Structure formats: C-alpha cells, structure tokens
Amino acid sequence: MEVVVLETPAEVASLAADTIEDVVRRREATGTPAVLGLATGSTPLATYEELIRRARDGRGPSYEGVETFNLDEYVGLPDGHEQSYLATIRREFTDAIGIQPERVHGPDPTEETLPAAGERYEAAIVAAGGIEVQILGIGSDGHLAFNEPGSSLASLTRIKTLTATTRKDNARFFGSPEAVPHHVLTQGLGTITRAGHLLLLATGEGKAEAVAAAVEGPVSATCPASVLQLHGHVSVLLDEAAASRLVRRDYYREVYSGKPDWQGL
Ligand code: GLP
C-alpha cells in the first residue's frame, strides 16, 4: 500500500479530488462512465467540497452517467430521515455535482425486504461493472464502512450491530448515542476489497492509533481496516496528525517525494 503523508486536511482533499477526477475523465474517454464508491462521515466532506468547487468553476470533468455506491446505511430510521446515508450523500455531494439521483445507490434498509438486501446490493454492484475507486474513512476503532472489529475479512454486504464506541462517535449526527440506530447494512470487507482502487482518507489525531494499527499492525479482524494490506492497489492519504503514530513515517515521506511524475496514485 502507498502511504502519503501530507501536511493538512486540505492537501488530503485536494489529492483525493485529483484521483477521483482522473478516474472520471479516463472512463469518460472510453464512453463508459465511472462507477465510484462513496463514503459518508466527516472525513471525505472536504474532498466532496473540493470536487464541487472545481465543477462549479468549470474545471471538473463531466459527471454525466457516473454511478455511485455508498458503503453502508442505517437500519430503522423513518423514511426520508436526513441522517440516512443515502440522503446524506445526495445532500453533501451527488446532487451538487450533477449525478442523477437514480444513479446514486446505497444498501436498502426497507424492513420487509431486509433479509435479501445484502445479496441485492452485491448484485447491483456487479451489474454496474464493479466499483473502480472506493473512498474510505476509518473509524476510531479501526472499522471500515460499518464492519466493526471481529468482522470477517471475507464478508459481503449484510446486517451488522454497531459497537457502543461507534454509536458514541456518531452521536453528533443524532443528538445523543441513544438516538443512533443499533443496526446497519454495510458492504463487507470482501465487497470493499473487490473495488479496483481503495483510497483511505484519515485526518486528525483521533485517527492516529487506528491508522497505525491498519497500516503497520497485523492483518486481523480485530482491526478491520488492516484488510487493506491484502489489496493490490491502496492509497492511504493522511495529514500529519493522523500519521503521527506511524513508525515508518519518514520512509513513506521519502518514497512519496521521490515518486516519478508519470506515476499517479
Ligand atoms: C462511520 C462510517 C464510516 C466512516 C467512519 C469514520 O461510522 N460508517 O464509513 O468512515 O464512521 O467517520 P468520520 O470520517 O466522520 O470520522
């Protein structure tokens, strides 16, 4: 995996935006629009804002025909709840950048069809041709999407129960930890690692420990994000604070600064 240590969250957002735009442009040139994997949470927001800014300034590629797949969704929220991840991604990114709502997908938490929701989501991703680039954040407990510690490294989309830590972390969106749903649908770690390119973004001191465990610790279900070590094309974009617990920090800096211009992420 390639670890890129940048100075600020803004630099992380800018490099992530460059990477997404490259994929969208490259695919546009082939006549088959890109399939993007999107993450919610606070971390990717700056990247989405940067992409929207560039599109508004006329510097971005066309997002016509681009299809997106969310990583996960809460189960049990009332219909149209503003904190559902589908509503969130539309509000924070896809509507503003001009991706048609019918091309924006997320796991479907409708109660009556819940048992088959995972299988249906897997089939939808395959039918779209697979996810070319997947944006990822990381939970403070090392979770990816909503794959909590202990998740099978081969898991596919399914229902999961959130840990108390994650419900506490996400309480800021709901007012209190008690208001955060207990259950979710999430792409599995096996689903995530089928994407062509994984782009993990992490900023701030609060993520430093989880990042160190994922990047330099053992591959283990105890740290779900460590599954990234098994994938052939992973870029980990960090600001200084999120990189602060990495033992090989200086080496990653040396590698990145000596990278040839022709080699993208
Ligand atoms: C949530 C999401 C993850 C996200 C993580 C970190 O629980 N399900 O996809 O990566 O938490 O969120 P944040 O970026 O807000 O720290």
Give me the pLDDT at residue 264, please: 87
Q: What is the pLDDT of residue 241?
A: 98
Instruction: Name all residues whose Cβ lies below 6 A of ligand 1.
Output: 39-43, 71-72, 137-139, 145-146, 166, 170
Question: Of all protein residues, whose CA lies closest to atom 1 belonging to ligand 1?
Answer: 41
Atom of ligand 1 nearest to the CA of 44: 14
55 with 97: CB under 8 angstroms? Answer: yes
Q: Which of 21, 50, 132, 148 is catalytic?
A: 148
Residue type, 264: G
Query: What pTM, to 2 d.p., does this model score?
Result: 0.96
Active site residue 183: no
146 Cα to the center of ligand 1, angstroms: 8
Alpha carbon 24 to its chain centroid, in Å, reads: 17
Report residues of the chain scoring pLDDT below 70: none
Gap from CA of 202 to ligand 1 centroid (Å): 10
Pick the catalytic residue from 11, 73, 132, 141: 141
pLDDT tens digits for range 128-160: 999 999 999 999 999 999 999 999 999 999 999
Picking from 199, 197, 200, 195, the residue whose alpha carbon sits closest to that of residue 212 is: 200
pLDDT for 80 equals: 85
Query: What pLDDT is recorded for position 191?
Result: 98
Task: Give me the catalytic one of 72, 122, 169, 239.
Answer: 72
- Ligand 1 pocket mutation pick from 12, 38, 40, 77 by most atoms within 8 angstroms of CB: 40
Give me ligand 1 centre to Cα 40, in Å: 6
Active-site annotation holds for 148: yes
Examine the residue annotation and report whether 72 is marked as an active-site residue of this protein. Answer: yes
